[in-house]
């Protein structure tokens, strides 16, 4: 599991004074990049002509986050097969440990040159397997 701290700033807020729903997607994207950077040399992946791309996001908004809130984003690789990678993300309020949002994200590996998804095998599969073995795929904590 990878943990990313997030501090809510004024530019994260919408006209209602809480974090706009689209910002949560940005937070989660940053969390995925940060997780993958721990295990994958993204420049090498790019040089190989591969990219991780989002296929779908299933997100649940549980609570609003507000100005000055301190949040904790937990990101973990759940599984992968020959076509898809599944990542789970939970965003908690740091001080109350209450769940703000939860998402399951499905990724694919894309060939940059063709723009088509690729079979996950070889070095890509080995790197993903290392992520699972490093504890990235542990069961998530209970959410209140």
Pairing of strands 2-7, 70-80: antiparallel
Task: Identify whether the C-beta of residue 52 lies closer than 8 Å to the C-beta of residue 35.
Answer: no
d(CA 111, CA 29) in angstroms, rounded, equals 20
Catalytic residues: 14
Q: How many residues does the chain have?
A: 144
Write out 3-34 in H/E/C secondary structure: EEEEECCHHHECCCCEECHHHHHHHHHHHHHH
Q: Give the separation between CA 35 and CA 44, rounded to whole angstroms.
A: 16
* CA atoms of 90 and 98, how far apart (whole Å): 10
């Amino acid at each position: 599991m990878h943990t990313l701290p997030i501090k809510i700033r004024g530019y994260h807020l919408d006209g209602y004074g809480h974090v706009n729903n689209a910002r949560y997607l940005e937070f989660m994207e940053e969390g995925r990049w940060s997780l993958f950077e721990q295990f994958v040399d993204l420049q090498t992946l790019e040089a190989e002509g591969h990219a991780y791309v989002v296929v779908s996001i299933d997100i649940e908004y549980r609570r609003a986050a507000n100005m000055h809130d301190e949040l904790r984003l937990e990101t973990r690789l759940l599984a992968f097969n020959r076509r898809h990678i599944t990542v789970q993300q939970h965003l908690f309020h740091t001080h109350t440990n209450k769940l703000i949002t939860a998402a399951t994200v499905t990724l694919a590996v894309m060939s940059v040159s063709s723009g088509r998804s690729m079979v996950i095998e070889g070095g890509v599969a080995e790197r993903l397997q290392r992520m699972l073995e490093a504890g990235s795929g542990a069961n998530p904590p209970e959410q209140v």
